[in-house]
Amino acid sequence: MSTKGDRRTFRNEDLVLKVSENIDPANWDESKYEAFVDELCGYRDYQKDAIRTTLRYLLGGKYNDLRTLAKENFDQNTELKERYGSWAAMERQLQLPDQLSCSLDQATGSGKSYVLYGIAAILLAEGAVDRVLVLCPSNTIEDGLLKKFKELACNSDLRDLLPPSARVATPRIINASESIVDGSICVENYHAILENVKSSIRESLKGKGARVAVLNDEAHHVANESGKTSKKWKDFLHDSDYGFRFVIGVSGTCYVGDDYFADVVHRYSLRQAIEEKFVKKVEYVDELPAAAENPEEKWQLIYNRHKDWKKKLKSRGIRPLTIVVTKTIADAERVAEELQDFLQEWERIDPGQAAAKVLCVTSAAKHQPNVARLRTVDNPASKVEWIVSVSMLSEGWDVKNVFQIVPHEERAFNSKLLIAQVLGRGLRRPDGWKGEEPVVTVFNHDAWSGRIKHLINEVLEIERRLISTVDPKSPFNFELHHLDYTRSEDATEYAKKGEYKLFEEGYVDLPTQVEAEDVTVGFERAVTGEHVKFRTTIQHKTWTVEEVAEQMIQKLKSIDEESKDAADPKDRTSYAKRFPLAKCEEIVRASLKRAKIKSEKITDDNRQKFWQALGTLRRKAAKRVVYKLSPKALALMNTSDRQDESCSAAELRRGSKTVFYAPGCETTLVDDQREFFREVEDEDGDFVNGRVVVATSVGFKTPANIVIADATPERKFVRELTGRENALKIDAWLKNTPMGFYSVEYAWKKGNKPKRGEFSPDFFIKQGESVFVVEVKGDEEISDPAADNVKKHEYAAEHFKRLNDWLEKEKIPTRYQFNMISPKSYNVFFQKLRNGGLAGFRSELDVGVAGAGDGEG
């Protein structure tokens, strides 16, 4: 673990639970199976270590359950203490603490199936269990595991190396269509455990869990998925009707979102797998040319990289695959169609040939034949070069000639789990590869490169933060009232009469263009950090002079057609007569000549310039829109519903935010915040400028455990609120969050553009039946208020007036008062508050912004 600035960084390897090697041979003698494990795993020592570690944990007699193992490690491992803060916090992260359960982190492409089979076969041979159930998340994975397990079970060399005392030498490999009998390994999609699905699992295993081992492939599904169906997987493992004792998960992505599993007992990382050459190297984009912003031209870059791989791999007899990963089935279908159209145009092939090159793989029924075709894409006879897939369906593809992966949306890269899954699709090395190490290209958006690097570096980086929460049981909670509005537009139009002046200079000003642009894509190699440049040429789409002129005249004709029935003859245009086709061509040629473009071809960017020149012709009127808000219902809120807000160590260190808290605050914090809070409390520490301790809880009449103040005006205001004199005169108060709790809608102008927004007043102060609503600003706003603050004040004042009118009509005694206040008026504000005379108070800023609003045109 290291602390860099205001972030704590933990290496995943330091969070792995250590299983004791000090095991009594009378309980478990692993030497009996050494020959078997050596033959099964060959030179892949990491697989052997995973099998040995798991069996020592399950059979060594040292651990009763996962909780025992985790507690032993927490007590001995300072990294775990730093990561979780307390044993209770770590214990909450354990998925199945009461069972002998654990996870194995095995890099995708490194042969997880061998580890699964080794554990299953030895547990059966040793007689530790009677049956093994292997659950996986998809039919694709199930088919792959069944095939691999049958091959291994029938391998006589493996069978002969089991000890003579083996209870089961040749396990039966089945799925849940058959009864699960003693001596069998049942491999099944986890959907078979559902009550409404017909399978043998429930009747075969109910009440027999103590003699059954459950192995979960792609175990991150158990921890991450929360849908009704997938949640049943974890419920099944917990179910006391079965009483499973041995539960092992294997995954190449041991993350819940970005957090590393708390129960990993063996780790073979992606970085190790790359360094030890068990998987391909990975390169990812760290710099894209501007042309990549155009979707068609980005396709060209991807296509050119694919062609480059084809050229390099031709001598090896390998046809490379590119996988495009999308968010949804609909996206996959759309992207597959786009790709087929692109290939038709660029390779000049017919639709049937293009369709043969693109395989769309999703869970949709119509794509199931494609799932079957997926098994043959490595075959030299296959014509498939491009696979479009939904990200979560891509597990289990045992495809070795993937050399490019394209995450189509940012969602594919918004967590370590998803990054690792997407990368995993291309990591497997082609059989018999010799020479320079194979590389898989991830053609990501360059803005995402940091996330990939972070994953490869195998770190869990936690920004240290303090979180302000509201205690729902606090006596300082109080009710607030709001209005539910309907919004209507009040629009005023200013008519435009007659035709616009058009092409007065006889040309459109065009920038210099190139039809074939030389570009460079920068890649960074994972692990080594080596930078690689891929230089290529993209062809910009071009149009002839005649095509652009024809598009111009058609647009002019459509404008004339729309105006022909206008009531006022002045509004009937005749642009097409003024600018016939020949005239349009003349303008296009003049524009090209002026821009020194000699080819008489126009790139798409420059074609858009001609369209922009015609863009205002349809605009027959200017419109001024004013939004009117009409209350339709009274809404009751409570301060206990305010969401959390937080501030970072960096903000407290530099003093841009300040936390206020009362004695005893530490007990309200979750465990992993407490250590940081103690640093904040240290009077000689780095955060002394970012914290204020309120002397007694009497002065802290807010339901929040911590109050976070932004900048100096808010900080001064909270100091006043928590001062003893003022606190005694207040029933309770709440610091609002910047968004999401109590907000007021307003409209304003930025330049000439109307804008709508919401703002959240900073404070609600309850005194008897009065609630004083305060927005805090700096003194500079008094003489020169910002336009948006003028409108915030106007709309908020109107809102609370309407609210008071509604409350009066409903005979509810509560009344609200809104003030916008700056430090110059704090003394008067709090003096009036102490004297009970705050009703009707107006600050200097209230007067200043109201005056600015009155002066608006």
Tell me the pLDDT tens digit for each residue of 487-545.
665 555 545 555 667 788 888 888 888 888 888 898 888 777 788 899 999 998 899 99
pLDDT at 857: 42
In whole angstroms, what is the distance from residue 476 CA to residue 455 CA?
A: 44
pLDDT at 115 over 70: yes
pLDDT at 150: 94
pLDDT at 798: 93
**Reduced DSSP (H G I as helix, E B as strand, rest coil) percent helix, strand, coil of the chain, to 5:** 45, 25, 35
Region of poorest pLDDT, from 405-414, 478-487, 705-714 = 405-414
Region of poorest pLDDT, from 77-81, 567-571, 753-757, 789-793 = 753-757
Tokens 């022909």, located at residue: 564
| More confident call, 732 vs 206 | 732
| CA 114 remoteness from chain centre | 32
For the chain, the residue count is: 857
| CA 824 remoteness from chain centre | 44
In sequence order, which ranges of 682-728 are alpha helices (DSSP H)? 711-722, 724-727
Residue 133: phi, psi to the nearest 5? -110, 120
In DSSP terms, which residues pair with 482 in a beta bridge? 635
Residues 128-155 as b/e (b if ≥16 CB within 10 A, e otherwise) read bbbbbbbbbbbebbbbbbbebbeebbee
Structural tokens at position 264: 């990993």
Furthest C-alpha separation in the chain: 105
Q: Which residues contact 846 (CB under 8 A, 6 or more apart)?
A: 793, 819, 820, 821
Region of poorest pLDDT, from 44-48, 98-102, 345-349, 510-514 = 510-514
Residues 470-482 as b/e (b if ≥16 CB within 10 A, e otherwise) read beeebebbbebbb
pLDDT at 792 over 50: yes
pLDDT at 703: 96
Q: Model's pTM, two decimal places?
A: 0.65
pLDDT at 478: 97
| More confident call, 643 vs 124 | 124
With H, G, I as helix, E, B as strand and everything else as coil, classify residue 424. helix
| More confident call, 322 vs 629 | 322
pLDDT at 293 over 50: yes
- The helix (H) or strand (E) run that includes residue 113 is helix 112-126
Looking only at the bridges linking them, the beta strands covering 172-174 and 184-189 are parallel
pLDDT at 231: 62
For residue 656, name the pLDDT band (cuts at 50, 70, 90).
confident
pLDDT at 662 over 90: yes
Structural tokens at position 794: 């106007």
In whole angstroms, what is the distance from residue 395 CA to residue 216 CA?
A: 14
Residues 287-322 as b/e (b if ≥16 CB within 10 A, e otherwise) read ebbeebeeebbbbbbbbbbbebbeeebeeeebbbbb
pLDDT at 393 over 50: no
pLDDT at 416: 62
pLDDT at 796: 94
pLDDT at 133: 94
Task: Say which DSSP state 838 is in.
Answer: -
> Which whole number is the average pLDDT over 443-460?
66
In whole angstroms, what is the distance from residue 329 CA to residue 335 CA?
A: 10
Report the percent of the chain where pLDDT is more than 90.
Answer: 47
For residue 418, name the pLDDT band (cuts at 50, 70, 90).
low
In whole angstroms, what is the distance from residue 14 CA to residue 396 CA?
A: 28
Helices 449-456 and 416-424 pack at an angle, to 10 degrees, of 80
For the segment 17-63, what is each residue's pLDDT rounded down to a tens digit? Answer: 999 999 999 999 999 999 999 999 998 999 999 999 999 999 999 99
pLDDT at 97: 95
For the segment 728-786, what is each residue's pLDDT rounded down to a tens digit? Answer: 999 999 999 988 899 998 887 655 556 677 889 999 999 999 999 999 999 999 888 88
pLDDT at 489: 56
In whole angstroms, what is the distance from residue 184 CA to residue 176 CA?
A: 11
Single-letter amino acid, residue 107: A
> Which whole number is the average pLDDT over 594-598?
89
| CA 120 remoteness from chain centre | 36
> Which whole number is the average pLDDT over 395-412?
74
Residues 221/396, Cβ–Cβ less than 8 Å: no
Strands of the sheet containing 131-136, edge to edge, are 172-174, 184-189, 131-136, 212-217, 246-251, 100-106, 264-268
- The helix (H) or strand (E) run that includes residue 765 is strand 763-767
| Among 108-122, 267-281, 626-640, the range of highest mean pLDDT | 108-122
Residue 559: phi, psi to the nearest 5? -70, -45
pLDDT at 726: 94
In whole angstroms, what is the distance from residue 812 CA to residue 479 CA?
A: 12
Tokens 């289990």, located at residue: 396
In whole angstroms, what is the distance from residue 818 CA to residue 831 CA?
A: 17
With H, G, I as helix, E, B as strand and everything else as coil, classify residue 38. helix
In whole angstroms, what is the distance from residue 424 CA to residue 270 CA?
A: 9
Q: What angle do CA 668, 259, 13 make, to 5 degrees?
A: 115
pLDDT at 750: 57
In whole angstroms, what is the distance from residue 413 CA to residue 423 CA?
A: 10
Mean pLDDT, the chain, rounded, equals 86
| CA 471 remoteness from chain centre | 29
- Taking the CA atoms of residue 282, residue 286, residue 292 and residue 298 in that order, the dihedral angle to the nearest 10 degrees is 0
In whole angstroms, what is the distance from residue 287 CA to residue 274 CA?
A: 23
Give which of 226, 219, 267, 268 is closest to 96, Cα–Cα.
219
- How many Cβ atoms sit within 10 Å of the Cβ of residue 646? 15
For residue 486, name the pLDDT band (cuts at 50, 70, 90).
confident
pLDDT at 196: 57
| More confident call, 673 vs 743 | 743
pLDDT at 113: 92
For residue 659, name the pLDDT band (cuts at 50, 70, 90).
very high
pLDDT at 71: 97
What CA–CA distances, in Å, run from 331 to 360, 413, 855? 10, 16, 52
Single-letter amino acid, residue 268: Y
In whole angstroms, what is the distance from residue 62 CA to residue 583 CA?
A: 92
* Cβ-based burial of 529 (10 A; exposed 0-12, middle 13-18, buried ≥19): exposed
Q: Which residues contact 454 (CB under 8 A, 6 or more apart)?
A: 416, 461
